[in-house]
Amino acid sequence: MILEGKVFKFGDNINTDWIISGRYKFAITDMKKLSQYLFEDIRPDFYKEILPGKSIIVAGENFGMGSSREQAPWVIKEAGIVCIVAKSFARIFYRNAFNIGLPLIETDTSTIAEGDQITIEVDKGIIKKAKDNSATKFVPWNNFRKELVHCGGIIAYLHKNKDFKLD
């Protein structure tokens, strides 16, 4: 699997309220509409900067901390973000993201800058920057994570694998 896009860089400890403000929690239930307010409290008009299918969020440590709201990864996916690369993720955000098929990559992000064009080779565990072809390595996903993303999340995965049983 190859993922490509322009980098939008964020820092450490990006919480779910910054991803999507709690004030919209019950006011807007359509995730596509809700995605228009992505990061509005810390990066106004971010939604207008996104190139759907060609944008990658890169962040520091503990991305997705805070509440366990599923809206946070959903709005990122609905906005057309290809994936998120961060030094680390909050555990519940990590699980929620893969459950909906949103790709996450954990690695050192210190050499990746705002505006970089990057290519992520998931099977090889390599991120390459287009401007200088430098590479950052990460631990490749296991087959289950690959299949979750490929299917579009856990529900689609379970439908596809109807004989799946928890032992």
Best CA proximity match to 106, nearest among 132, 133, 142? 142
**29 part of a folded domain:** yes
**11 part of a folded domain:** yes
> Residue 166 has what pLDDT?
57
- φ and ψ of 55, to 5 deg: -125, 140
> Residue 41 has what pLDDT?
93
**What's the average pLDDT block by block, 10 residues per block, for the chain (167 residues)?**
97 94 80 92 94 97 88 94 97 94 97 97 96 94 91 88 66
**167 part of a folded domain:** no
**165 part of a folded domain:** no
Domain of residue 139, CATH code = 3.20.19.10
Tokens read off for 59: 């962040």
Give me the domain span that covers residue 62: 2-160
> Residue 84 has what pLDDT?
98
**121 part of a folded domain:** yes
pTM: 0.92
Best CA proximity match to 1, nearest among 140, 116, 165? 140
**89 part of a folded domain:** yes
Number of domains into which the chain is organized:
1
> Residue 80 has what pLDDT?
96
Per-residue pLDDT reduced to its tens digit, 111-127: 999 999 999 999 999 99
Segment holding 128, helix H or strand E: strand 126-129
The per-residue DSSP string of 81-126 comes to EEEEEES-B-HHHHHHHHHTT--EEES--TT--TT-EEEEETTTTE
**166 part of a folded domain:** no
